[in-house]
C-alpha cells in the first residue's frame, strides 16, 4: 500500500515499501493513505531534507533527548527539537538547556524557550515545521504583560508563568528583548530554519569555530594572582587540580569528559594518551606534582571579576598546552586530592597570535609541520567554506581534515557523513595544491616535511574553486586506485600517486587517460632503458623534480590521441 506525507512546499513524499525508500512528487498527491505516525513523518522529512546519513545522526540525537527527559511521544520529536535547537545554538549541554531555558509543561503561552545572556533576553517559539504567525503575536503579548505586571491574564500560561517567576533574577527588566523563531517560515528576519540548526550541529562537532564557551575559574583566596604589569594580558595562579577540574565540568558547555574536545581544538599535539609518569605522580607523589608539571595554558577573552564566586571568566577558551595533564587528571577524578596546578591565562583573541601561543607552549616536544600548519587561519577558513558547500549526498561533499581538535572523536561523525575517499588529509591536499604551481613534484613526494615547513612562513590565500577541484581529483584518484584488482598494477599507480593527480589536474584527463600516460612514462624512462642506467627503484622516477618535464614530453608525443589535453 502506498503511504504519503505532505510537506509545506507543495511536495509530497510517498512510499510503497513502508518508508524503506521513498519518492518525491511536486504539486500532486499520489493515491494512497496519509501517514499518521508523527515520528515516522518527521523521520522521513529529515531524510528528505538532510540525506540518509545526516538524518540518521539527527534522529538519534532527538530520540536520545526524548528518552533522557521522558518527553511525550506524540509530537513527532517536536519537544526534543526545542532542546536540541537551543543546545546547538549556544553550544551547551542538553541537560543544562532542559533545566534552565525550556518552558516545561503544556501551558507554555506559545513560548517554548527563553535564553538570557548578560545584555539580552531571547524569547523563542520553535517548530520543526511551519509556524503559525499568530503564535508569535501571542508569545509577545504574554511576555510583555509579565514584564509590566508580573502576571499573565491569558489562559494556558501556567507553565510559562511558573518559569518566569523561577527565573526573575536572570530575566531582568533592563535587558533588551529579541523575539526569535525557529521554523520553516521564510518571512521574519529573526527566524532560523531547522536546516540551519542541523548544519550548525555538524559544524560544532567537526569544524573550527568560536566555541561559545564561558568558563568560570576560581582562584583560592590564599593564593592570589600574578599579573603582567597593568596590561592584563597574562595572569598566573595556583589552584588545586580538583577545583580546576570542577570548574571545567561545571561549565554548561562541557559538563562531562566526552565534551572536553571543545577546549582542545588549538592544541597542536593532540591527546598523547595516558602518561605513566603523570599517573604515578598523581597516585604516589601528589604533593610534588606541581613541581614536575608545566601547568595549563588557556587562551581566550579573559575577564577579571570581583564580588562573584569565580575570579575569572574566559570567553571562547582554548587550552593550548596541558591536554595530557587534564586527561590524566580526568582519568583519576575525583581521587586527585593533594594535586596542585599552575594555571596561566592569556588574554588573546587574535587567531595568528593564538596559533603562535599553541606552537611555542608546546615547543618542548618536536611538533610536525603539518600539525602547526593546521592552526593556519586561512586553512581553517577554507575548511569551513568546503563544509558550507555540503549537499545531501555525501559522495558530493569533501572534508578537509586538519590535524587538530585534541581528540579524534569527531572523526566518527565525519566518517558517517562523508564518503571515505572524500575525507582529504591536509598533507595530501597541500602536496597537490602546491605542486601544480611550482612543478616540484619530486620535493613534494620525497621531502614533504621540508616543503610543509616552508609553508609555515608564507601567507597563502586559498582559492575555493581550486581547492574544490583539488579535493575532487584526490577523491577520483583514490576511488580509481580502489577499483584496480591487480595488486601489482595498483602498487605501480600508488607509486605514481602525485604524478597521477598532477596529470589529471594540469591536463584535464580522466583516470583511464592518465593511467595510459603513467604507463608510457614508466616504459620510456624506466623499463625500456639499459639496466645499468635504470634507477634502482621505480619510485625514484617519481621522487625527482624532472618528472614534471617527463610528463610534458609524453603528453606532447601523445597529444593527437588525447584530444582533451592542452600542453602548457
Contact 539, 495 (CB under 8 A): yes
Q: Which helix (H) or strand (E) holds 340?
A: strand 340-347
- Pick out the chain residues at pLDDT < 70: 208-210, 229-231, 266-274, 307-310, 350-367, 404-409, 560-568
Q: Is the peptide bond before 334 cis (omega within 30 degrees of 0)?
A: yes
pLDDT at res. 268:
56
pLDDT at res. 567:
46
Contact 409, 194 (CB under 8 A): no
Contact 423, 416 (CB under 8 A): no
Coil, strand, or helix at residue 550? helix
Q: Which helix (H) or strand (E) holds 125?
A: strand 120-126
Coil, strand, or helix at residue 89? helix
Cα 59 to Cα 19: distance, rounded to the nearest angstrom: 15
What residues form DSSP beta bridges with 3? 15, 33
pLDDT at res. 446:
93
Contact 568, 506 (CB under 8 A): yes
Q: How many alpha carbons fall within 13 Å on the CB side of residue 555?
A: 25
Cα 420 to Cα 401: distance, rounded to the nearest angstrom: 12
Render pLDDT for 55-69 as a digit per residue (tens, 0 to 9). Answer: 999 999 999 999 999
Which residues, 6+ apart, have CB-to-CB distance to 466 below 8 Å? Answer: 433
User: Helical H runs in 223-375?
Assistant: 241-250, 276-284, 289-292, 323-332, 351-360, 369-373
Cα 38 to Cα 466: distance, rounded to the nearest angstrom: 44
The length of the chain in residues reads: 568
Q: How many alpha carbons fall within 13 Å on the CB side of residue 554?
A: 22
Cα 105 to Cα 86: distance, rounded to the nearest angstrom: 17
Contact 266, 367 (CB under 8 A): no
| 0.95 surpassed by pTM | no
**DSSP states of 486-534:** -HHHHHHHHHTHHHHHHHHHHH---HHHHHHHHHHHHIIIIITS-TTTS
Of 554, 553, 475, residue with least CA distance to 511: 475
- Rounded to 5°, the CA angle 296-297-300 comes to 135
pLDDT at res. 509:
96
Cα 22 to Cα 311: distance, rounded to the nearest angstrom: 56
Coil, strand, or helix at residue 80? helix
Cα 346 to Cα 303: distance, rounded to the nearest angstrom: 11
Cα 310 to Cα 312: distance, rounded to the nearest angstrom: 6
Q: In the 8-state DSSP scheme, what is residue 374?
A: T
Amino acid at each position: 500500500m502506498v503511504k504519503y506525507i505532505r510537506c509545506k512546499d507543495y511536495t509530497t513524499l510517498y512510499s510503497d515499501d513502508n518508508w524503506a525508500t521513498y519518492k518525491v512528487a511536486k504539486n500532486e498527491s499520489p493515491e494512497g493513505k496519509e501517514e499518521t505516525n508523527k515520528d515516522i513523518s518527521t523521520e522521513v522529512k529529515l531524510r528528505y531534507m538532510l540525506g540518509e546519513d545526516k538524518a540518521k545522526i539527527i534522529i538519534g540525537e532527538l530520540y536520545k533527548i526524548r528518552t533522557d527527559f521522558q518527553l511525550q511521544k506524540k509530537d513527532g520529536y517536536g519537544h526534543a527539537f526545542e532542546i536540541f535547537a537551543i543546545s546547538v545554538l549556544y553550544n551547551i549541554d542538553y541537560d543544562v538547556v532542559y533545566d534552565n531555558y525550556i518552558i516545561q509543561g503544556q501551558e507554555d503561552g506559545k513560548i517554548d524557550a527563553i535564553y538570557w545572556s548578560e545584555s539580552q533576553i531571547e524569547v523563542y517559539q520553535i517548530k520543526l515545521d511551519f509556524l503559525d504567525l499568530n503564535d508569535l503575536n501571542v508569545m509577545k503579548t504574554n511576555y510583555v504583560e509579565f514584564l509590566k505586571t508580573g502576571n499573565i491574564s491569558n489562559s494556558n500560561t501556567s507553565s510559562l508563568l511558573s518559569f518566569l517567576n523561577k527565573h526573575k533574577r536572570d530575566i531582568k527588566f533592563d535587558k533588551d528583548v529579541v523575539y526569535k523563531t525557529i521554523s520553516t517560515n521564510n518571512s521574519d528576519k529573526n527566524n532560523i530554519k531547522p536546516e540551519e540548526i542541523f548544519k550548525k550541529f555538524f559544524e560544532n562537532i567537526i569544524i573550527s569555530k568560536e566555541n561559545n564557551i564561558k568558563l568560570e575559574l576560581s582562584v583560592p583566596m590564599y593564593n592570589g594572582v600574578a599579573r603582567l604589569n597593568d596590561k592584563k594580558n597574562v595572569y598566573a595562579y595556583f589552584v588545586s587540580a580538583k577545583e580546576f577540574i570542577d570548574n571545567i565540568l561545571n561549565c554548561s558547555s562541557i559538563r562531562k569528559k566526552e565534551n572536553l574536545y571543545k577546549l582542545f581544538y588549538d592544541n597542536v599535539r593532540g591527546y598523547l594518551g595516558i602518561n605513566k609518569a603523570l599517573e604515578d605522580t598523581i597516585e604516589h607523589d601528589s604533593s610534588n606534582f606541581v613541581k614536575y608539571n608545566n601547568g595549563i595554558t588557556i587562551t581566550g577573552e579573559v575577564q577579571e571579576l570581583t564580588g562573584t564566586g569565580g575570579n575569572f571568566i574566559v570567553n571562547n577558551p582554548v587550552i593550548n598546552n596541558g591536554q595530557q595533564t587534564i586527561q590524566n587528571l580526568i582519568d583519576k577524578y575525583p581521587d586527585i586530592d593533594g594535586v596542585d596546578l599552575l594555571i596561566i591565562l592569556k588574554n588573546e583573541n587574535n587567531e595568528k597570535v593564538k596559533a603562535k601561543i599553541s606552537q611555542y607552549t608546546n615547543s618542548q616536544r618536536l611538533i610536525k609541520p603539518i600539525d602547526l600548519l593546521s592552526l593556519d587561519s586561512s586553512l581553517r577558513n577554507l575548511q569551513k567554506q568546503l563544509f558550507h558547500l555540503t549537499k545531501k549526498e555525501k559522495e558530493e561533499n569533501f572534508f578537509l581534515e586538519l590535524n587538530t581538535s585534541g581528540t579524534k572523536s569527531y572523526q566518527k561523525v565525519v566518517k558517517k557523513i562523508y564518503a571515505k575517499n572524500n575525507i582529504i588529509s591536509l598533507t595530501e591536499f597541500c602536496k597537490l595544491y602546491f605542486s601544480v604551481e611550482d612543478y616540484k613534484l619530486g620535493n613534494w613526494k620525497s621531502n614533504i616535511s621540508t616543503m610543509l615547513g616552508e609553508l609555515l612562513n608564507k601567507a597563502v590565500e586559498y582559492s575555493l574553486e581550486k581547492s574544490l577541484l583539488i579535493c575532487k581529483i584526490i577523491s577520483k584518484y583514490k576511488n580509481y586506485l580502489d577499483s584496480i584488482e591487480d595488486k601489482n598494477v595498483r602498487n605501480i599507480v600508488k607509486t605514481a600517486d602525485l604524478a597521477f593527480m598532477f596529470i589529471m589536474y594540469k591536463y584535464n584527463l580522466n583516470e583511464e587517460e592518465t593511467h595510459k600516460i603513467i604507463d608510457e612514462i614508466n616504459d620510456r624512462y624506466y623499463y625500456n632503458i639499459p639496466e645499468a642506467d635504470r634507477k634502482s627503484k621505480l619510485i625514484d622516477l617519481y621522487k625527482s623534480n624532472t618528472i614534471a618535464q617527463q610528463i610534458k614530453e609524453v603528453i606532447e608525443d601523445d597529444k593527437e590521441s588525447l584530444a582533451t589535453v592542452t600542453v602548457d
